[in-house]
Amino acid sequence: MSHDAPEPTRPLTRRELRERRAREAAAQEQAPQAAASQEQPAQDAAALTSAATTESALPAPSAVPAPAGPTDPAPPVAVPVTTDPDVVRAAVSDPLVPEPTPSAVESDQPSRAGRNLPVATGVGVGLGAVFVGSLFWRSELFIAFAFVLILAVVIELRSALATRDLQVPVLPIAVGSAGMFVSAYLGGAAALLVAFVATSGAVFVWCVLDNNGLPALRSGSAAVFVVAYVPFLASFLVLALTQPDGAWRVFLVVVAVVASDTGGYIAGVLWGRHPLAPTVSPKKSWEGFAGSLALACGASTAVVTLALGLAWWFGLVVGALATIAAVVGDLGESLIKRDLGLKDMGSVLPGHGGVLDRVDALLVAAPLLVSAFAFLAPVAAQ
């Protein structure tokens, strides 16, 4: 009687090894990938069924489930649980849509401040240093500094108006601006008025001779507007410079306007909720106006009482007038830019925009505050 020895365990075939490795890899895949790996064609299911019959005599490998039969549902595949944020993000996001980069997300969010504050501060400090140094060292240097700024504004307006086919000549306006500055410094208000009328007439004639028909009239009118808006209004600072304590008067005008702009900026960023003129300048708010008024009145009162020796109430008047003038100047420039389809008048001042974007309020405040000095300063001195 013969006894057959137990059949030794044979090694797995290549096909069986491939199937085993496929099952182990499927067990490590994530949930969406694991579900996809369960969908096999019909011929693969038949092949797996045949391989399962051959492999039934072998000991089942640990941690690997037996293949499903032809009629049994496929057992769920164990998916490793992970808290890795990269894996979780990949499992819930569409692999065909790339994740937005942090820089792209940040670039889509507008800055609440609306400007590059460090750069704007540096440029403002530099301009302030040149202004104070020229003002209190030599009056002629301040006039030259103001003329350079005015010429830059005229060039900005020339470029902006050219987008509407309005040709504004820079050369006659520059010559007339110099004439108005010199007239105001040497001859006073009457000489300034004569120089303004002469400059306006010369510029208009220049435009008429340089163009024909309706374009000549339109360009001439735009050029006269530039003369009145920029060099004529700026000449009131030169008038103030010729008065007793003229340097301090000009300093007061500039400080009041800068304080108004700074107070409005800070209050608007921190507490701005109610728009002041949403159709013209959406960023301006009533809270910003209150901040402008408070800081302008405080700064003006300090200069009026400490430097000029006038009554404190005159500082409040100067601060209130400066705030009103600053708002009117800013909104007026905003209307011009909106009509021309521009965001800024230029980019010559990093963090600020154009030169006109910084002196628009000062242009309106200069004649208003110089007039206040003429009528109220004698009363405040008593």
- Tens of pLDDT, residues 341-370: 877 676 666 555 678 888 889 999 999 999
Supply the DSSP symbol for 168.
-
Q: What confidence score (pLDDT) does residue 64 get?
A: 47
As a whole number of angstroms, the distance between CA 261 and CA 255 comes to 10
Q: What confidence score (pLDDT) does residue 11 get?
A: 63
Q: Are 225 and 203 in contact (CB under 8 A)?
A: no
Q: What confidence score (pLDDT) does residue 51 get?
A: 47
Burial code (b: 16+ CB inside 10 Å, e: under 16) for 172-188 equals bbbebbbbbbbbbbeee
| CA distances for 106 relative to 30, 111, 213, 350, angstroms | 31, 9, 51, 21
Task: Return the residue matching tokens 């060292």.
Answer: 137
Q: What confidence score (pLDDT) does residue 84 get?
A: 52
Q: What confidence score (pLDDT) does residue 42 get?
A: 46
Q: What confidence score (pLDDT) does residue 117 get?
A: 66
User: Mean pLDDT, consecutive 10-residue segments, the chain of 382 residues?
Assistant: 49 71 73 49 49 46 47 49 49 46 41 59 78 88 94 93 91 96 95 97 92 84 95 95 91 94 90 85 87 95 94 95 92 86 68 78 93 90 80
Q: Are 246 and 196 in contact (CB under 8 A)?
A: no
